[in-house]
Amino acid sequence: MKTFAQMMRQQSAAERSNFRQAFRAVAARNTQGKLIGVEMEGLAGEAVSGELFQHYGFTSAPLAGAEFIAVPVGGNSRHTVVVASEDGRYRITLQDGEVALYSDEGDRVHLKRGRVVEVVTQTLLVSAGQKVRFDTPLLEVSGQVQVSGDISSAAEVRDHTRSLQADRDIYNGHTHGSGPVPTQKQ
């Protein structure tokens, strides 16, 4: 004769068998819109449609072949949401404690140990309606700088020879032979 606990376990197991548990799947394709729909293949080979849930402020469109953790809401595969996605083909190597955003094209924003943020891309476009401010004691640029507007400085402007003020001083004090110094100063 079964005990009450055994009967409860048996009944509970029978009920759980009617509900699909979370499962792993492989991405097939996405549909873009207000919600991101995903077509995926479960590990048993079945085709499943679902919705890609993402954290507020972050969005992505995983490529075919990405891996998902899918949760059938209420145990029903007809209402499946993807709660995590991963694509190890493009993942970058991190040290413990580091964080990164990355793409399949090699672009990345990498928050590294030692308080270094590395941005790697072909073209970085920053669009600001008012201004961009770098609050740092030193800004280094390894290539050319092209500016389409005025350049202003509250401090000295220098090149590899001397400052702009030193050039003014030379000009303002020069003479042509025995002639006078320039009356129009720089």
Lookup result for tokens 């030379």? 170
Cα angle 116-106-42, degrees, rounded to a multiple of 5: 115
Does 37 map to a domain? yes
| Residue 76 in domain | yes
d(CA 117, CA 138): 16
What's the pTM? 0.72
- The DSSP line for 93-129 is P--TT-EEEE-TTS-EEEEETTTEEEEE-S------S
* 79 and 61 housed in the same domain: yes
Write the CB contacts of 7 (distance below 8 Å, at least 6 apart in sequence). Answer: none
Phi and psi of 105, rounded to 5°? -90, 0
**58 falls within a domain:** yes
- Count the residues in the chain: 186
Dist. CA 73–CA 20, nearest whole Å:
9
Domain limits at 64? Answer: 4-86
Number of domains in the chain: 2
Per-residue pLDDT of the chain (186 residues; tens, 9 = 90+): 788 888 888 877 776 666 678 889 999 988 888 888 899 998 888 899 999 999 899 989 999 999 999 999 888 778 899 999 999 999 999 999 999 999 999 999 999 999 999 999 999 999 999 999 999 999 999 999 999 998 888 888 888 888 888 878 877 877 787 778 777 777
Final residue in a domain of this structure, among 18, 53, 86: 86
In a domain, 167, yes or no: no
